[in-house]
A and B are shown apart, each in its own frame.
Chain A
Amino acid sequence: MIHFENVGLRYGMGPEILRDMTFDIPKRSFQFLTGPSGAGKTTLLRLLFMSLHPTRGIIRMFGRDLSQIPRAELPMLRRRVGIVFQDFRLLDHLTTYENVALPLRVRGKEENSYRNDVIELLKWVGLGERINVLPPVLSGGEKQRAAIARALMDRPEILLADEPTGNVDPPMARRLLSLFLELNRLGTAVVIATHDLGLMDQVDARRMILTEGRLDIYE
C-alpha cells in the first residue's frame, strides 16, 4: 500500500533527519513506530500523510509515485489516510459530533446522510453520551477517542497515530490500544508512533525503530 525507497529528508541546509528509508506498509498491517524523542517519528508520519515531500528517494502511495501526483490531487489521496495527533487538534467551537463529522462535511456530504453513522461511531468509541459536548469539557482520553473517531470517520485505508497514549493514563492507554486493534481487525492498516514500551509489549506487532535517522524493522 505504501512503499518508501531510499527516502531521505533534511530541513533547510541542516543534517539529514531521515536517511535511506526503505520499507513497505502492507494492507491490513499493524505496526509500532518507535524511537527516542527527536528521532524523526513525527516527520516520518508527515511523510506518510503526504504533508511533507522527501528531499530524496521515492515514495509510492497507493500504487502512485508521490512526486508525479499534482498538488491539487493530494487532498483526495489524503482522504484515504486517517491521522491522529498527540494534541488531538479538535476544534473547540465544534461539538464532539461536529468534530467527528468534519471529514464528511468537507467532502460536501449532507448531514442527513451521515448523522446516524457519526453517532454510531461515537458510541463505538465510548462517546455516545458526549456528542453535544465541546472539546474543552472533555477529558484527555475522551479527546483522544474523539480524534480517533474523526480519523476513522471516512473509512481510511491506513490510520496514523502520533503518540495516541501520550496524554492518557495506563488504563485508558490499554482501552485505546484495544480500539486500534479492533480497527485493524476490521481491515485498516495502523501505524502507531509511540515511545511507550509498556504499550508495545502488550501486542505482538511489527516494530519500526528509528534511531538517529535510520530505520530498523523487527517483524
Chain B
Amino acid sequence: MNELGQKILKAAKATRAGRQPEPAPPTQQQPRRAEMRVRPTAPILPPSNIQGNALMVVIAIMAFLACLTFGAVTMVRATAAGWQSQISREITIQIKPEEGLDMDAALKKARELALTFVGTREGTIMDEDATARLLEPWLGTGLNLDELPVPRLVIITIDEQNPPDFAAMRDLLKTEVPQAFLDDHRTWVDRLVSMAQTTVLIGTGVLILVFTAMILTVVFATRGALSGNRHIVEVLHFVGAESSFVAGEFQKHFLKISIKGSAAGGVLAAALFAAANMWQANSLATPESDQATALFGSFTIGITGYLGIFATMIVIALLTTLTARFTVMRTIDEIDLIRSDPARSDGAPSS
C-alpha cells in the first residue's frame, strides 16, 4: 500500500494542480488537522445482531442439567462405593443347628479356622442375645434360641487390601465343620457394583442427550444468526474473506454466550449440591434428613464432583463454540456453492 499511497498522493497533487475536477468536497479546503483520529474498531458482527439471550438461557438450563446429572452420578457412585466397602470389610460364617451338634464348640472352631488365614483380622461370635435382637422384628421379644433351630453367626473382619483366600477357607470349613456356610457377601457386592455401573450408564446417556439437544439448539441459533446477518456475510465474501474468518467472527459471539450460559448453569448446580449438603449437615438425626440419606445417600460430591462440574462447563462452552464454527463454515460453503452454481441459483443478479 505504501507504493500505491505514494502514487495516489502524486496523482492527487496532479489533480489539484489542474485539469481534472477536484474529487474532494469543499469541506476539505478547511485547515488540515494535526492528526486524524478514529474510534476504536467496531466488531464486524454487531453483538445486537445476535439474539443471544434466549440461547444463553437454553445453554444455562442444559449446563444445569448436565452438571446435575454429573453430580448425581458422582454422589451415587460414592454412596455405592461406601456400601461396597462396608460390606466387603467383613464376612459371615453361618452354622446351621443339627441334632447332636455342639453349637458353641462349632462356633469357636469355625472362628479359629477362619482366623488362621492371612488377611483376616478378628472374629466375633454373635452371642444369643445379639442373635435374638436380630430376629426380634420377625419373632418378637423373649425368644428362647434353644427351642428353635436358629442358625448362629460368626463375623470375621478382613483386610480389604489383602483379602483371604475365600475358596480355600470355604473348603476347609466344609471339611472341618460341615454345618458351616461361608458368606463373603459377594452377591451383594456384585449387585452394588452393577447398580453403580447402571447409574453411570444412565448418567452418561442423559449427558449425551443433553449435549445433543444443546448442539442442535446451537445449530439452529447459528443458522438463524447467519440468516439475520446475510448482508454482512455477502460483503465479507466480496472483500475476499475466507469462510474460516467469517466463522471466527460468529464464533467470538457464541463463545461469550456459551461461557455466560454454562457458567450460570454450572454455578447453579454446584450451589444446589452445596446447599443440599449444608442442609444435610445441619439437620443430622432428624427424620427428614435420615429419610433423604437413606434414599440418596450423602449429598456430598467432594472436590472431584465440583471439578467435574467445572469441566462440564468448559466442555459445554467449547462444544457450543465449535458447533457454531462448523455450522457457519458449512452454511457459508453451502451459500457459496448455491451462489456460484447457475443451475441452483434463482437468477437474482444482486449477489
Contact = CB atoms under 8 A, between A and B. Distances in A.
B5 A120 contact: yes
A128 B36 contact: yes
Nearest to A43: B349
A9 interface: yes
B267 to A, nearest CB: 33
Contacts of A43: 349
Given A11-B346, A79-B240, A171-B21, A95 B38 contact: yes
Contact of A106 (B11, B239, B349): B239
Interface stretch (A21-29, A47-55, A57-65, A210-218): A47-55
A12 B342 CA distance: 6
Contacts of A178: 15, 20-21, 23
B23 A129 contact: no
Contact of B239 (A95, A102, A132, A181): A102
A139 B227 CA distance: 28
- A interface, size bucket: 35 or more
A103 B239 contact: yes
Interface in B181-237: 231-232, 234-237
A97 B125 CA distance: 92
A185 B8 CA distance: 10
A56 B340 CA distance: 13
Contacts, number: 154
A111 B42 CA distance: 12
Contacts of B175: none
A131 B349 contact: no
B139 interface: no
A90 B341 CA distance: 25
Task: Specify which of B41, B240, B340 lies most central, judged by the most chain A CB atoms within 10 Å of its CB.
Answer: B240
Contacts of A103: 239-240
A14 B348 CA distance: 13
Contacts of A114: 1
B23 A46 contact: no
B248 to A, nearest CB: 10
Contacts of B21: 171, 174-175, 178
Given A124-B12, A178-B15, A150 B239 contact: yes
Interface in B304-342: 333, 336-337, 339-342
A174 B25 CA distance: 14
B28 interface: yes
A116 B5 CA distance: 9
A5 interface: no
A196 interface: no
Interface in A156-208: 171, 174-175, 178-179, 181-182, 185-186
Contact of A128 (B7, B28, B337, B346): B28
A83 B28 CA distance: 26
B15 to A, nearest CB: 7
Given A98-B42, A117-B2, A14 B347 contact: yes
A171 B23 CA distance: 10
B20 A102 contact: no
22 contacts: A12-B344, A52-B340, A53-B341, A54-B342, A75-B242, A75-B243, A76-B240, A78-B240, A85-B238, A89-B238, A91-B44, A94-B44, A95-B38, A102-B44, A111-B41, A115-B38, A129-B27, A132-B39, A154-B240, A155-B1, A178-B21, A182-B15
- Which 3 A-B pairs give the minimum distances between C-beta atoms? A11-B347, A126-B24, A79-B240
